[in-house]
Amino acid sequence: MTVPKVATTNGPKPDDGASAKLGPGRRILKKSQDASTSTIDLISFGKIHVTRGINRLTEGIMSSGKGSFVEYEGGKRLLDFTSGIGVTSLGHCHPKVTEAAVKQCQTIVHAQCSIALHRPYLELVERLLPLMPHPSLDSFFFWTSGSEAIEAAIKMARITTGRQQIICMQGGYHGRTYGAMAVTRSKTIYSEGTYPIMPGVFCVPYPYWHQHGLPPSTPSSTLVAQSLYQLDLLLAQQASPKDTAAIIVEPFLGEGGYVQAAPEFLQGLRDVCDKHGMVLIVDEVQSGFARTGKFFNIEYSGVRPDIMVIAKGLANGYPLSGVVSRKDLTDKLQPGTLGGTYAGNAIACAAATAVADALIEEDILSNVQARSAELLGALNELRSDPTVAPYILDVRGTGLMVAVEFTSPCSPGAQYDPVSKKDSPKTLAWRVSQACFEKGLLILTTSAYEVIRFIPPLNITQMEIKAGAAIFAQAVRQVIGEGLA
């Protein structure tokens, strides 16, 4: 079998009898029998022709995945603790999900939502209704990405309340499209150079000790009180409740640092929304579908969302997101308010239906809870090592959404931060993630702080958790041993 090879051309050259009208430095793909050379050339080709605006953890070409493992061209096999950023929650190429997608490919691929209903869409709604965290969540719209779903949720909130303003959380992440970007406050890179973005957005601190300049030992009750106090001030000084449509929150902060919100905070938001007639939008894009040990993280608080946004693990790698709300709210929308060319694609819906079935049939919740205890136990054991302890600020997480936060000499606001450590190696989290890659573990950093996040498949085995934790421990000790960078 032949594979592509990259050839460079500085002008038109004949190629198998055809002329190539390419400018200086442009490249065309040719064929070669040498697979390793082709991989190198393809990576070089990608560096030129794939937009620089995408950031990547590695420069390799991922060629296949099975269960908890991925393989790169060239044969490097890695244990995957990223799950495609929380997407392949049942592992790569789960047989039940693959079978459902293949079968749907042979039936109908694209039944556009503004033309007709299709069976996989309705069957998915049927499967999801019993899983909802509150029985009032009974009206579904499926789209393609999490960002799109956030856009729809904001639009719905504004239309149904007749108000414009949105309150979001410091450290929150909701996407890169314009409305989603406006309510994203985890890193400035997502909106840098794009202003003016969507107006009418205000921000309050999430109950994460960093957001208040407090140490990790700060009681949760103090963090909750401080955040809700800031919300009250915001409503009194900047954003009139009469003009505010919604509060949007991740019950488990994702890109902002992997932090579980206390039930009291989420209940406080619910109370404010009820008092002022606002809509509570709960973003479960990353924390939903059993990721944290319940079908949805908001269940830990018992708080009722008015609108809930879902994506990522919903379809195990097929592009699908959703906005779930109350029928009395969505009945206020005029037909045509929502839609999209690929919204609720039939193949993705069929795959998601298989995911919902597998979550129940394979008792995924029990596995998440067992593997979570093992992972957190291994990480806390590492933290107890006297040579490592000075460099780990926190081990935290719920279910299989787990984080380790390292010290830093130059974190945001370091001169005021009580946990800033001047003699700490720089970029510890990134260096550890790179060392993990070399040792056979794919893992990601997150947030403006030095945080590594663990997002393994939800059906990961005990042996795989043990192996991943061991590689991580080796990488941490190696990087700390290398000293200051």
pTM: 0.92
**Alpha helices (H) along 113-243:** 119-128, 146-161, 178-182, 220-237
Q: Which of 25, 23, 20, 22 is nearest to 8 (CA)?
A: 25
Angle at the Cα of 144 from the Cα atoms of 141 and 149, rounded to 5 degrees: 55
Q: What burial letters (b/e) apply to 72-89, b meaning 16+ CB within 10 Å?
A: bbeeeebbbbbbbebbbb
**pLDDT tens over the chain, length 485 residues:** 333 443 333 444 434 433 344 554 555 555 444 555 588 889 999 999 999 999 998 889 999 999 999 999 999 999 999 999 999 999 999 999 999 999 999 999 999 999 999 999 999 999 999 999 999 999 999 999 999 999 999 999 999 999 999 999 999 999 999 999 999 999 999 999 999 999 999 999 999 999 999 999 999 999 999 999 999 999 999 999 999 999 999 999 999 999 999 999 999 999 999 999 999 999 999 999 999 999 999 999 999 999 999 999 999 999 999 999 999 999 999 999 999 999 999 999 999 999 999 999 999 999 999 999 999 999 999 999 999 999 999 999 999 999 999 999 998 888 888 888 888 889 999 999 999 999 999 999 999 999 999 999 999 999 999 999 999 999 999 999 997 65
Separation between Cα atoms, residue 158 and residue 164, nearest integer Å: 5
Separation between Cα atoms, residue 49 and residue 465, nearest integer Å: 37
Q: Which of 437, 444, 90, 472 is nearest to 255 (CA)?
A: 444
Note the pLDDT of residue 13: 42
